[in-house]
Structure 1
Amino acid sequence: MLAVVVGGCAGKGQIDLEGGVGITSVRSACPSVGVPASTGDITMFDPPASRDASAIDVTAVMTNVRSTCDETGADIVTTVRFDVRASRLRGDAPRDVTVPYFITIVRGGTAVVAKRIGRVNVHFDAGQTRAQTSGTASAMVARSAATLPEDVRKKLTQKRKAGDSNAAVDPLSAPDVRQAVLRASFEALVGFQLTDEQLKYNATR
């Protein structure tokens, strides 16, 4: 199943006043893509133990995050591309800086089911304090895991006529339906792979 129609109705974006009540909503099998809080930038210090502003060596920001999704096979493949914009304090000699990043698959909003670590290399030319590079990450989700069970789908698409006792009841208010939708919902999240100290710095500065 590539999409789920929520609520009983005639067609996408329409309200069926004769056969039932409800408004169509389309659920994609592709995971949503984002950057977790406090992981979209990284600061490196020299010396590493210092947290003084004067000790900031290199900073980098992850930006222009975009994705493509291939739903044609047994696995749903999401490819995420992003840019890394970096700056350094000293711009005398050429320099290469390696920045680690991650992509993780989160199920149901809380459960991390897979994670990969990658690295991008940022090259500074001599005399330059700014540089930019790009990175790519991919993730796969089994179509069977992102597909709602047939009984849950029937509950979501069941037509409800005006005046029926359940006409105004949101099917997602049922715990079993809500949990099934959560289990079939995935996110692909990318960010810099930070140390505990770097994450603390980002969260408290």
Structure 2
Amino acid sequence: MKVTVISVSLLALALAGCAGDGELDVSSGVGITATRTGCPTVAVAEGTGDITLFNQAGNQTSDAVDVVATITKVRPSCNSGGEKIYSVADFEVQARRAVAGPARSVTLPYFSTIVQGGSAVVAKRIGQVTLNFADGQTRASAPAKAASYIDATSAALPPEIVAKLTKKRKAGDVDAALDPLSDPEVRAALQRASFELLVGFQLTEEQLRYNVTR
């Protein structure tokens, strides 16, 4: 599943949330401090960050737009201190209606998914957010939240991979200039241990097609 954040290298993933932030020890050798929290990356899934409602069935022209809503101000938080990692994404939904009519409420569905290794969906939940337009107003906003648990063991790197990442390398050693992240085994382990918490509107096929092709 694609997301609306720019992809980062596995080096950045390895150092994300790390103690010392990849600090180099030049006195006794070179090593990467790679203590990971296991907390997932939080993002809005591509193509699902906004939703458009129309007031005429089968008509998706600009004249038929009723309400447009967008997910914004995503704020992640995470507790990785136990056997289960608890990840939360607080966000805001901002909406605009085409006509400033009487007071009105609009309820929109949204989803949250936990994705492992960039492609495997291991959990999905559906929530709802209600927007209340005041009389004569065209704009409304409401807070929403998505949360999920991740098995801490699945998000942890195997000891042998940690050893490769943190191995001290002295200047002049044969492997001193070798990047441990160039090792396919290390890269694969980092990929398996990486998780994402993705949020977005629960769109119909027609709504998703509109977002992609407009």
What TM-score do you get using the length of structure 2 for normalisation?
A: 0.85
Q: Distance in 2 between matches of 1:104 and 1:135?
A: 15
Contact 1:5–1:157 (CA<8 Å) still a contact in 2? no
Cα 1:157–1:46 change in 2 (3 A) is same
The secondary structure found in structure 1 opposite 2:36 is: strand
Out of 67-76 and 17-26, give the one that drifted further: 17-26
1:128 aligns with 2:148: no
Aligned residue number for residue 104 of structure 2: 95
- On the 8 A contact 1:108/1:186 being kept in 2, the answer is yes
1:127-146 Cα shifts (integer Å, max 9, x gaps) = 22111111011011011111
1:55 corresponds to: 64
Rounded to whole Å, the distance in 1 between the matches of 2:21 and 2:92 is: 36
CA drift at 1:22: 4.0
Deviations 1:97-117 (A, max 9, x none): 111111111111222111111
- Preserved contact between residue 116 and residue 122 of structure 2 (Cα < 8 Å): yes
Contact residue 100 and residue 117 of structure 1 kept, 8 A: yes
Query: Where do 5+ consecutive residues of structure 1 fail to align?
Result: none
Q: Which residue of 2 aligns with 1:139?
A: 148
1:110 aligns with one of 109, 116, 119: 119
Contact 2:32 2:165 in 1 (8 A): no
- Once residues 47 and 208 of structure 2 are traced to their aligned partners in structure 1, the CA distance between those partners, rounded to angstroms, is 7
How many percent of aligned residue pairs carry the same amino acid? 51
Matching residue of 1:160: 169
Q: CA deviation at 1:42?
A: 0.7
Q: Which structure: greater strand fraction?
A: 1
| Cα separation, 2, equivalents of 1:126 and 1:165 | 73
After TM superposition, give the deviation of residue 24 of structure 1 in Å: 4.0
Matched residue type, 2:165: L
Where does residue 81 of structure 1 map in the other structure?
90
- Aligned residues of 1:94 and 1:126 also touching (Cα < 8 A): yes
Match of 2:5 in 1: none
With structure 1 as the length reference, what TM-score do the two structures score?
Answer: 0.89
User: Contact 2:44 / 2:200 at 8 angstroms: preserved in 1?
Assistant: yes
Q: How big is the shift at 1:26? A: 5.3
RMSD across aligned C-alpha pairs, in angstroms? 1.9
**Alignment: residue pair count:** 198
Q: Where does the alignment leave 5 or more consecutive residues of structure 2 unmatched?
A: 1-12
**Closer, same or farther in 2 for the Cα pair 1:12/1:81, shift >3 Å?**
closer
